[in-house]
């Protein structure tokens, strides 16, 4: 039994692509992605989407995630 547990842990270790750090993968990434996609679909159905372009633009600019200079829909916001 000890060997099978050790084998499980060794087979579950991987290196994170961006940080190059070791990580323990108990659940396969494909399964995590599938679960995340299902949850995201539920959230989209439940929550109301915002049409307030000005607030969205300010929020994303404050987060420094996007450059909105080239997006026509947000130029007049």
CA–CA dist 32, 67 (Å, integer): 30
- DSSP secondary-structure letter at 13? E
Q: Average the pLDDT over each of 17-21, 23-27, 35-39, 65-69 and give the range with the smallest value.
A: 65-69
Q: Is the pLDDT of residue 70 over 80?
A: no
* DSSP-H helix ranges across the chain: 2-12, 29-46, 53-62, 72-75
Query: 39 and 51 in contact (C-beta within 8 Å)?
Result: no
């Amino acid at each position: 039994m000890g060997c099978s547990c050790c084998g499980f842990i060794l087979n579950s270790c991987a290196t994170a692509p961006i940080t190059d750090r070791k990580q323990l993968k108990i659940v396969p990434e494909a399964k995590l992605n599938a679960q995340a996609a299902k949850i995201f679909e539920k959230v989209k159905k439940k929550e109301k989407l915002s049409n307030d372009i000005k607030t969205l633009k300010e929020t994303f600019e404050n987060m420094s995630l996007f450059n909105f200079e080239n997006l026509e829909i947000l130029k007049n916001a």
